[in-house]
């Protein structure tokens, strides 16, 4: 999927709910006090990080409340540029604020540090002796958890209200009105020629209105599915409705809150259905493909009807936190990835994409992506995507795909490799083989394997011990591990 962003670059921050710095200052149990920098209102904190390095830049992700007791400060720091250099590096790394702990190293915050924070517009907090850094970190995570719950509740309520609006006698205007209320802005449905078909919410100033129209034209003239921009402080987003459908949803809002993208994506899916997908021929083509498959047509004959090429990707996705996604949420994920070919089974959503689209990480989802394959190899790609998802969940990676490099296994004829794998792994049941595969892929980590398989770590230990006994193999031997890994890849 190609996504167009038209905005200035800012330091990257982790994809987690943010915490207002003012909320931390309001916690009486922390007794934090701001002594320098701009007002805390409007400043977002994404994590709390403790470091006594003189240059914390390499260890920061951006958005942190950096906590330090000043152990790194040299004795003569006040007479040179040490504090200027230190604060400059924190700001360059995208730090949200700096917390300085009093005692046991320093009784007061160094005056030169206060001056540097003022100069670089970095909020500086005084952390009293009775407040531990771990206590500040715990408070950040508590507030983040509360924000996440509030965000999920808001998205769920919006999904329900949008679905109810789609069932009204005037569904398209109703969905636009409901979306405008949810994002507190303007929503517009553009037709194939870029003309405004329907709108809801208060119209912004003319420059913003024109910029939103221009953004819609970007999607109508290019193979993009979403585009974003910021004009005069107004956040603009555009969503292509369906594959080659010719309609675009435009959204203009004075702010961009967590969950807005998900809410707008749900509205885009509903509007894709309401604006008559079958009129464009896409729905009819899919129906034809399904009928041909049921009548025995080979996949390579059917896939051209789905609008793709001769190469495809399979994506497996699970929501975060884990749970069974509803059909609307699953369809919203498909729309964000740029494909209507979505299957929500159990706790995993599977999406089929033409190989010329490049899946990007999606907020609130963990994704595993297969390598590009021909239509007749889609079942193998499905297994590959499932394995990638398992590893992504275990390593807490938003999106994981196989590494594009040749393997030593390619040197062995596939038929011989498969025969050897079946013979070697014959004593193992499918659950034991999958446990062994996951355990080996995660370098023998009990905890990560337990997370990937959603079982207790003791269960993993018992299964691996059972594998070793059935195979009569020493699983601590790297040669044995290597041979089993090659066999499991062929199984």
Closest CA to 231 of 260, 264, 253, 259: 253
Q: Is residue 388 part of a domain?
A: yes
Please give the pLDDT value at position 283: 58
Please indicate, yes or no, whether residues 136 and 23 belong to a single structural domain of this protein.
Answer: yes
pLDDT of 424-468, one tens digit each? 889 999 889 999 989 998 888 999 898 888 889 899 999 999 999
Same domain as 171, residue 90? no
DSSP state of 128: P
Has residue 11 been placed in a domain? Answer: no
User: For residues 364 and 336, what is the distance between their CA atoms, to the nearest angstrom?
Assistant: 12
- Collect all residues with Cβ–Cβ distance below 8 Å to 134 and sequence separation of at least 6: none
**DSSP E strands: which ranges in 357-407?**
365-369, 399-400
SS3 of residue 234 by DSSP: strand
Same domain membership, residue 213 and residue 189: yes
Is residue 111 located within the same domain as residue 171? no
Residues 209 and 323 in one domain: no
Q: Convert the pLDDT of each residue in 104-153 to its tens digit.
A: 899 999 999 999 999 999 999 999 999 999 999 999 999 998 888 888 88
Mean pLDDT for the stretch of residues 169-189: 89
User: What domain range is 76 assigned to?
Assistant: 19-141
Q: What pLDDT sits at residue 122?
A: 97
Dist. CA 373–CA 387, nearest whole Å = 16
Is 314 in the same domain as 380? yes
Q: Which residues contact 243 (CB under 8 A, 6 or more apart)?
A: 282, 307, 338, 339, 340
Q: Are residues 132 and 77 in the same domain?
A: yes
Asked whether residue 12 is domain-assigned, the answer is no
Position 219 in a domain: yes
Neighbouring C-beta atoms of residue 487, cutoff 10 Å:
21
Q: Report if residue 405 sits inside a domain.
A: no
169 has a pLDDT exceeding 70: no
Measured CA angle at 41 (ends 5, 156), to 5 deg: 60
Does residue 178 lie in a domain region?
yes
Whether residue 34 is found in the same domain as residue 131: yes
The pLDDT, as a whole number, for residue 299 is 74
Q: Are residues 127 and 194 in the same domain?
A: no
State how many domains the chain has: 4
pLDDT at residue 88 greater than cutoff 50: yes
Average pLDDT over residues 347-360: 85
Q: Which long-range contacts (CB under 8 A, 24 or more apart) does 428-431 make?
A: 428/467, 428/470, 428/471, 431/463
Does residue 130 sit in the same domain as residue 218? no
Pairing relationship of beta strands 365-369 and 399-400 according to DSSP bridges: parallel
């Amino acid at each position: 999927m190609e996504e167009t962003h038209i905005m200035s670059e800012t330091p990257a921050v982790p994809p987690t709910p943010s915490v207002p710095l003012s909320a931390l200052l309001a916690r009486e149990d922390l007794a934090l006090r701001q002594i320098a920098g701009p007002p805390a209102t409007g400043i977002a904190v994404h994590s709390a990080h403790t470091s006594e390095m003189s240059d914390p830049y390499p260890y920061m992700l951006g958005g942190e409340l950096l906590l330090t007791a000043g152990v790194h400060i040299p004795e003569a720091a006040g007479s040179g540029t040490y504090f200027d250099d230190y604060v400059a590096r924190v700001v360059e790394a995208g730090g949200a604020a700096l917390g300085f702990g009093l005692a046991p190293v320093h009784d007061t915050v160094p005056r030169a540090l206060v001056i540097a924070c003022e100069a670089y517009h970095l909020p500086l907090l005084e952390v009293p002796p009775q407040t531990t850094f771990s206590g500040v970190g715990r408070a950040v995570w508590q507030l983040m958890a509360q924000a996440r719950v509030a965000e999920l509740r808001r998205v769920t309520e919006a999904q329900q209200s949008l679905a109810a609006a789609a069932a009204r006698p005037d569904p398209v205007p109703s969905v636009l009105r409901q979306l405008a209320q949810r994002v507190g802005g303007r929503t517009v449905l553009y037709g194939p020629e870029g003309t405004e078909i329907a709108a809801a919410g208060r119209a912004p100033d003319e420059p913003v209105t024109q910029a939103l129209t221009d953004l819609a034209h970007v999607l109508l003239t290019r193979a993009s599915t979403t585009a974003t921009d910021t004009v005069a402080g107004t956040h603009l987003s555009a969503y292509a409705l369906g594959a080659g459908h010719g309609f675009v949803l435009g959204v203009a809002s004075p702010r961009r809150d967590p969950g807005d993208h998900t809410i707008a994506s749900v509205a885009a899916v509903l509007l894709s259905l309401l604006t008559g997908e079958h009129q464009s021929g896409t729905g009819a083509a899919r129906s034809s493909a399904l009928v041909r498959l049921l009548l025995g047509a080979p996949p390579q004959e059917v896939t051209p009807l789905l609008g793709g090429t001769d190469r495809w990707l399979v994506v497996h996705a699970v929501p975060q936190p884990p749970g069974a996604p509803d059909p609307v949420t699953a369809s919203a994920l498909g729309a964000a990835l740029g494909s209507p070919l979505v299957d929500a089974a159990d706790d995993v959503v599977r999406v089929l994409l033409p190989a010329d689209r490049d899946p990007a990480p999606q907020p609130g989802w963990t994704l595993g992506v297969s390598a590009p394959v021909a239509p007749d190899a889609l079942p193998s790609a499905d297994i590959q995507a499932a394995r990638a998802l398992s590893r992504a969940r275990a390593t807490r990676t938003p999106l994981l795909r196989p590494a594009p490099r040749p393997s030593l296994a390619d040197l062995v004829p596939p038929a011989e490799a498969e025969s050897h794998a079946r013979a070697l792994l014959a004593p193992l049941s499918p659950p034991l083989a999958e446990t062994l595969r996951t355990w080996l892929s995660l370098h023998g980590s009990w905890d990560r394997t337990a997370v990937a398989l959603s079982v207790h770590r003791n269960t993993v230990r018992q299964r691996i011990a059972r594998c070793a006994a059935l195979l009569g193999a020493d699983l601590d031997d790297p040669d044995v591990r290597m041979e089993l890994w090659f066999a499991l890849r062929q199984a």
